[in-house]
Amino acid sequence: MSCKKPDTTTIPIVDLGQLGLGVAGGPIEDELQRVAKELGAALTGVGFVYLKNHGIPSQQVEAVFSSASKFFSLGKETKLKYEKGPSQMHGYVAVDREKLDASDKFLELRETFNVKDMSYPLPDEEVPEMRMALETFHVSCWALISNVLTAIAIAVDLERDFFTSTHEELFKSGGESLAVLRMAYYPTVPATVPLNTIRCGAHTDYGTITLLFQDDMGGLQVRDVEGRWVDATPIPGTILVNAGDLLQFWTSGKYVATEHRVIIPEDEVRRQSPRQSIAFFVQPNAETLVRPLDGSNTYQPITAKQHLLNKYRMNYT
């Protein structure tokens, strides 16, 4: 139940132990302190960490992947019925509509369906199983996020409810949360593509933390503390978690929002295989004013909502 020591090339693995879902007895104080210490070490290093023994059933993850795959296989006109606008949080995004690389020099081969909450339109007619899969998955993610946010608060010597209280809308069904669950689909790579093609451009995530569920296709890379690109190879049964911009702002850069990307694979078999991922982007309450907790002026205060809107304006075509 130990954490691999962070270095310049390794993404640590943290065993959640008693903080995982469904563990009899629930978290104990010693376990909370251990996980807090290990998460803190990981997020001050490469900024990413694998969580094992998290307790979210694999069947729930597979059900979301399956329903997402069915949606993305629909015709273009059908998918565009659910298209979202540049400032909207919920809906479908077609290939190359979202430019995550700030340089805007890449063609990004990626489709997504962003889900704000169950009160927004879903493809119930075309993929009726998606709603139930997402409802169940949301509940599990909420429970795990609560435990992780508590551990992070302990790691930075805050009241342990600091992050759960500043993210309370996340845990309310139909609340005014900025959190988004994103189902991403990376189609097969055409035989001929421009040299500037990538599956997902280099970027940092906008919020507090992200929970990422990968399939087994690989391709995700993170920039290590030396500036090198490191493969975030999928590890079965784990969730990949990373710090976002707002956690970096809160901690004056102690916890790093690490740049990451998804590259086009060199292997032809993988090039001809689609890739899927599910990301749960954890955001504070909309009007939460995020400022460095140490009182420094490292980052200018900004509300969670304004930061998100700024990013949306930059990244959507």
Summarize pLDDT for 117-148 with one digit per residue, the tens. 888 999 999 999 999 999 999 999 999 999 99
DSSP assignment of 146-162 equals HHHHHHHHHHTTS-TTH
Summarize pLDDT for 253-277 with one digit per residue, the tens. 999 999 999 998 888 888 889 999 9
**pLDDT top residue among 224 and 55:** 55
Superfamily of domain 13-315: B-lactam Antibiotic, Isopenicillin N Synthase; Chain (2.60.120.330)
What's the full length of the chain, in residues? 317
Q: Is the pLDDT of residue 251 over 50?
A: yes
> Hey, what's the torsion of the CAs at 73, 211, 180, 219, to 10 degrees?
-40
In this prediction, residue 214 has a pLDDT band, given cuts at 50, 70 and 90, of very high
Classify each residue of 239-253 as buried b or exposed e, where b means 16 or more C-beta atoms within 10 Å of its C-beta: bbbbbbbbbbbbbbe
3-class DSSP state of 210? strand
Mean pLDDT for 301-312 is 93
Q: Domain coordinates of the chain in residue numbers?
A: 13-315
